[in-house]
Structure 1
């Protein structure tokens, strides 16, 4: 899952980034209103952690921009401001949760998982298609009860396509989802092709009831075989 953390306190931002990356999230960061706005206009995120007080604007203004772009799903406000008015305003503007500083990273992680489950998987932490079961928390895959061993990127690709089953996922969107900011310097998509090739091979060898189909020049979709 791809997250954006908008926070101007550099030390806190780094602690959050490192902690969430240990949970196998793809984390991008922004320390200002302007940079955050550039990112939300250009990319899609599964969850946005949004500080209210920024040096060049407010998180609530960013939330308003997100709402205008229909991207206000999965926003968690993180703020030192603990007033009831701020909480109500943020939630009324479309935020899904409100976490007051200082907070424990474990609580933040729990809030993120709760929001993602509620929005994407109706509260579940697993995806099941045909004879394949994907556990998003444990990052494990089983086919007919046998574990399928995947590397990190293969798992990220499979889980993203599984959430979007039968939908055509543009290769650029897939690359941004799995590789994030690193995509900006990429010259081609060879690194995606190799991961997809290996994933397909592993699924086929285990007689998976799903397959990753390529739509030439556009992208990929996961279908029940």
Structure 2
């Protein structure tokens, strides 16, 4: 996941960047209106953290530019201006959230993860495929309305595969999504194979109408029978 921080206050910008990089996000920064505009025109981001008051321009104008470019980036406004008018303008222009300074970095990180999760699940709280119904917030899984208990990794794998249903998911992407900062410690992908094997068996034993197919040498694909 690639994020862009548009913030001219150096100390705050660096603290936010370090915090998000610890969560394994790829983070870029812009310190003024012009550099921010160049980046949003040239690149795509999963989420943009946007200050309203910027050297050389206004963050709300950047929101309008994103709209003009028909881009779908999530945007969280981070601003010292606790103005209802600015908040409403930002939300009307397509911002996903608004956080007033000062704020706790942990809260900002939670907001980022929340908007990214909503995007991944297409705004739905429940993911359904065939007779499988998964709630990522409550971490519950039902097959034919019957609950099925998975371990944490099995649940995360199934969630990722359901979000990417009918798409080829390579082993590296799956490992980075599910294992995160522990991925670098692995010498091979045996830890994925064992979890996938157990997950497949549980789905089959409970007569799920989705299956996880292995694509030799590349990864996996979840298909609905």
Specify every segment of 5 or more residues in structure 2 that has no aligned partner in the other structure, as ranges: 6-12, 79-100
- 2:14 corresponding residue in structure 1: 8
Going from structure 1 to structure 2, the CA distance change for 1:195 and 1:121 (only over 3 Å counts) comes to: same
2:157 aligned partner: 157
Instruction: Note the residue ranges of structure 1 that are not aligned, 5 or more in a row.
Output: 19-26, 31-35, 38-50
Match of 1:77 among 49, 62, 78: 49
Kept after mapping to 2: 8 A contact 1:5/1:29? no
Q: CA deviation at 1:115?
A: 5.0
Bigger relative contact order (CA 8 A; separation at least 6): 1
> Deviations for 1:72-131, whole angstroms, at most 9, x for unmatched residues?
2x314065x6568124325634542233232365576356434532x3333211110011
5 Å-filtered alignment, 1:135-154, equals: 135-154=135-154
Name the residue aligned to 1:113: 114
- Cα deviation code 1:132-181 (max 9, x no counterpart): 00111111111111111112211111111101111111111111222234
Structure number with bigger Rg? 2
Alignment-derived partner of residue 24 in structure 2:
28
Instruction: Tell me whether 1:99 sits opposite 2:99 in the alignment.
Output: no
| CA-CA distance at 1:222 after TM superposition | 0.5
The corresponding residue for 2:123 is: 123
The whole-number CA distance in structure 1 between the counterparts of 2:223 and 2:195 is: 18
The 1-side partners of 2:186 and 2:3 are apart by 20
What is the TM-score of this pair, normalised by structure 1? 0.67
Q: Is the 8 A contact 1:211 1:223 kept in 2?
A: yes
Partner of 2:59: 86
Cα root mean square deviation, aligned: 3.4
State the 1:213 CA deviation: 0.6
| CA–CA distance in structure 2, aligned partners of residues 140 and 214 of structure 1 | 25
Secondary structure at the aligned position of 1:77 is classed as strand
